[in-house]
């Protein structure tokens, strides 16, 4: 976009465009900080200030929130100050924050709960990159384990800044642990997640992605082979798609999730050449009752979906055995796209999945939009995918709750928001709005930020400052500058607020205890450390 007179009103957007020209991109954008004519940072977070962190999902938001709110925080140096923090949703129950949209409670009657109550043993295995999805969301948003539930979380590599530099991640360790658990005949249900396709798929480098796909394919082959030796029934599926649609229609790379369905394959020693068919048009909510059917367990009252395998097919699948053990493999991010163009799943070397799809009963499952509790037309994500695999019913997302509150007007009457706004008015302090600026991100929406700006503009807040995070996932290249321009224009339109920091989400939204990254994001907001952008 050319630098016009109108764009001079939006210096942060121009600064982001300049960063693009210097080789930076949205995800890892170095912090940019607005400064006055003397070089002093504008709008930093100070003692007594109020902050509304409007991100959703939450697992990546915990660390940066802790650094602002935790008494005695000492992981990196922070000043002694009291910041009144409001979060859009509950990121973690241990955080000292006011929550605008409190949790509606854990989902009852999930797959894991039913298996536990039946006295069966279950094991969940994953890399740390996917621990929250496999251990929390799959369990219906429960942090604690159920009785007879074991969790094995293998640390994702920490010797590389991004996983495209190590696309194999920790898959070998995940496989080895899984093989050991398969051999333990006391385990009735084993759930294993291979993270590579999703995690590496958020980069723009073709070769590492192709390798990640092949690594997962090989890992599936090794675990399936061992499971069949141990007479287990194997189900292979995914939580959402990614690299099976790697391009936008204009040819630019799409690093985000997709609205594609995902594969679902049923495997056992008793099947020969697709002995039965599986219904089409079903969704991830049908995974839980299918697992329960194979295990010989009744569905709980709230599980409205049904097994994908009927009684006749079940007999063929199990060979008529009464006790069956199940291995559920989640190939995270492995979507299905019948078109080969721009399809890195189809382009990669995948002999195992090709053979399994050719030999065993299979179908595809809906993994996006309303089928997983998300707004119509939106892409899937790991949170929704795992939660719906475990819930066996549609659980409406926090985004849906918030969007509905905007439609009925209750958003503008939210007590947590109003307490922060009125607190800043009463105390004569500053109000800060913090979060990702995106439409497609599962972590938040620029529309929620704009609604907050509208709400604040109706009050008498002395100073309003906005701190924005950028992320490329699901967005077109260099879209961050367009969002920053949109936010700055919104502030100009209402005559209130100033966008004062812009930072790549890589630094702020960490969930792997990379505190050096979080410290960089924190220092941008508190000390003004970053590339200075002159206020015009």
Q: Considering only 148-152, 158-162, 387-391, which range has the smallest mean pLDDT? A: 158-162
> CA 137, CA 447: separation in Å to the nearest integer?
25
Cβ-contact 373, 394 below 8 angstroms: yes
Q: Is the pLDDT of residue 9 over 70?
A: no
> CA 374, CA 153: separation in Å to the nearest integer?
28
Distances (CA, A) of 209 to 165, 205, 473: 10, 7, 15
For 6-102+400-534, CATH gives 3.40.1450
Q: What pLDDT shows up at residue 78?
A: 97
Q: Is the pLDDT of residue 376 over 80?
A: yes
For residue 122, the cross-strand partners are 149, 189
Containing 502, the helix (H) or strand (E) segment is strand 498-504
Say which DSSP state 133 is in. I
Containing 436, the helix (H) or strand (E) segment is strand 430-436
Q: Is the pLDDT of residue 440 over 80?
A: no
Say which DSSP state 366 is in. E
Average pLDDT over residues 5-33: 86
* CATH level 3 topology of 111-394: Alkaline Phosphatase, subunit A (3.40.720)
Q: What number of CA atoms fall less than 13 Å from residue 51's CA on the CB side?
A: 28
Question: Nearest-CA neighbor of 167 among 124, 237, 131, 217?
Answer: 217
Residues 72-95 pLDDT 10s: 999 999 999 999 999 999 999 999
Cβ-contact 267, 356 below 8 angstroms: yes
Q: Is the pLDDT of residue 7 over 60?
A: no
Residues 442-492 pLDDT 10s: 788 899 999 999 999 999 899 999 999 998 666 677 788 999 999 999 999
Characterize the bridge pairing of strands 233-237 and 262-267: antiparallel
Q: Is the pLDDT of residue 404 over 50?
A: yes
Residues 226-242 pLDDT 10s: 999 999 999 999 999 99
Cβ-contact 523, 507 below 8 angstroms: no
Q: Considering only 2-6, 37-41, 290-294, which range has the smallest mean pLDDT? A: 2-6
Q: What pLDDT shows up at residue 1?
A: 28
Domain ranges of the chain: 6-102+400-534, 111-394
Q: What pLDDT shows up at residue 2?
A: 31
Cβ-proximal residues to 151 (8 Å cutoff; 6+ apart), any chain: 123, 124, 125, 131, 134, 135, 145
Q: What pLDDT shows up at residue 307?
A: 96
Tell me the average pLDDT of the chain: 94
Residue 183: CB atoms within 10 Å: 12
Helix residue spans in 95-203 (DSSP H): 111-117, 131-132, 171-183, 196-201
Cβ-proximal residues to 305 (8 Å cutoff; 6+ apart), any chain: 283, 285, 286, 288, 289, 392, 393
Q: Is the pLDDT of residue 5 over 80?
A: no
Distances (CA, A) of 92 to 88, 143, 153: 12, 10, 19
Q: What pLDDT shows up at residue 250?
A: 77
Cβ-contact 293, 314 below 8 angstroms: yes
Judged by DSSP in three states, 127 sits in: strand
Q: Is the pLDDT of residue 503 over 50?
A: yes
Instruction: Tell me the percentage of the chain whose pLDDT exceeds 70.
Output: 98
Between these two residues, 526 and 511, which has the higher pLDDT value? Answer: 526
Containing 119, the helix (H) or strand (E) segment is none
| Per-residue tokens: 262 | 């995902």
Encode burial over 90-122: b for 16+ CB neighbours within 10 A, e otherwise: bbeeebebbbbbeeeeebebbbbbbbbeeebbb
Q: Is the pLDDT of residue 344 over 80?
A: yes
How many Å is the Cα radius of gyration of the chain? 24
Measured at the CA of 330, the angle between CA 345 and CA 304, to 5 degrees, comes to 120
Cβ-proximal residues to 38 (8 Å cutoff; 6+ apart), any chain: none
In angstroms, how far is CA 529 from the centroid of its own chain?
28
Q: What pLDDT shows up at residue 473?
A: 66
Question: Nearest-CA neighbor of 443 among 59, 95, 31?
Answer: 59
Q: What pLDDT shows up at residue 4?
A: 35
Residue 428: CB atoms within 10 Å: 10
Exposed/middle/buried for 7, CB within 10 Å: 0-12, 13-18, 19+?
Answer: middle
DSSP assignment of 44-89: ---TT-EEEE---S-TTTHHHHHHHH-TT--SS---S---EEEEEE
Q: Is the pLDDT of residue 202 over 80?
A: yes
Distances (CA, A) of 210 to 107, 167, 238, 243: 36, 9, 17, 9
Residues 240-285 pLDDT 10s: 999 999 998 878 888 889 999 999 999 999 997 777 999 999 999 9
């Amino acid at each position: 976009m050319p630098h016009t007179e109108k764009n001079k009103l939006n210096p942060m957007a121009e600064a982001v465009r300049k960063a693009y020209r210097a080789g930076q991109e949205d995800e890892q954008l170095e912090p940019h900080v607005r400064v006055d004519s003397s070089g002093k940072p504008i709008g930093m977070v100070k003692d007594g200030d109020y902050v509304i962190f409007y991100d959703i999902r939450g697992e990546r938001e915990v660390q940066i929130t802790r650094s602002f709110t935790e008494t005695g925080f000492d992981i990196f140096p922070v000043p002694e100050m009291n910041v009144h923090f409001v979060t859009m949703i509950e990121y973690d129950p241990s955080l000292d924050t006011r929550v605008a949209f409190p949790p509606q409670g854990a989902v009852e009657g999930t797959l894991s709960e039913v298996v536990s109550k039946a006295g069966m043993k279950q094991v969940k295995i994953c890399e740390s990159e996917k621990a929250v999805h496999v251990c929390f969301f799959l369990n219906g948003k429960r942090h604690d384990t159920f009785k007879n539930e074991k969790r094995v979380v293998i640390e994702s590599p920490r010797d590389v800044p991004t996983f495209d530099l190590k696309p194999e991640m920790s898959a070998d360790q995940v496989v080895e642990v899984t093989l050991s658990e398969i051999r333990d005949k006391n385990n009735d249900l084993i759930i294993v997640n291979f993270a590579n396709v999703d995690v590496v798929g958020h980069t723009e480098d073709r070769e590492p992605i192709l390798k990640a796909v092949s690594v997962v394919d090989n890992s599936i082959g090794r675990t399936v082979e061992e499971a069949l030796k141990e007479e287990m029934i194997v189900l292979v599926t995914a939580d959402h798609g990614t690299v099976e649609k790697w391009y936008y229609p204009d040819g630019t790379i799409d690093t985000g999730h997709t609205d594609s369905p995902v594969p679902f394959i049923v495997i056992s020693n008793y099947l020969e050449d697709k002995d039965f068919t599986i219904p089409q048009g079903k969704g991830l909510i049908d995974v839980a009752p299918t697992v329960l059917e194979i295990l010989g367990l009744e569905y709980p009252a709230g599980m409205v979906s049904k097994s994908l395998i009927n009684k006749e097919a079940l007999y063929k699948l199990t060979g008529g055995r009464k006790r069956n053990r199940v291995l559920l493999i989640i190939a995270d991010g492995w979507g299905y796209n019948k078109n080969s163009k721009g399809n890195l799943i189809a382009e990669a070397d995948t002999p195992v999945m090709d053979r399994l799809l050719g030999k065993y009963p299979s179908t595809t499952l809906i993994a996006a939009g309303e089928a997983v509790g998300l707004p119509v037309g939106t892409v899937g994500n790991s949170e929704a995918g795992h939660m719906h695999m475990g819930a066996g019913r549609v659980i409406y997302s926090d985004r849906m709750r918030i969007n509905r509150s905007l439609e009925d007007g209750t958003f503008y009457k939210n007590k947590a928001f109003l307490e922060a706004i009125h607190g800043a008015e009463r105390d004569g302090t500053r109000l800060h709005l913090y979060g990702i600026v995106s439409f497609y991100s599962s972590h938040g929406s620029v529309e929620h930020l704009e609604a907050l700006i509208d709400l604040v503009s109706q009050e008498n807040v002395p100073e309003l400052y906005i701190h924005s995070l950028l992320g490329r996932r699901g967005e077109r290249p260099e879209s961050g500058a367009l969002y920053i321009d949109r936010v700055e224009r919104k502030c100009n339109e209402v005559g209130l607020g100033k966008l004062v920091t812009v930072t790549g989400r890589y630094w702020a939204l960490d969930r792997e205890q990379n505190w050096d990254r979080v410290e960089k994001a924190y220092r941008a907001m508190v000390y003004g450390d970053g590339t200075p952008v002159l206020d015009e």
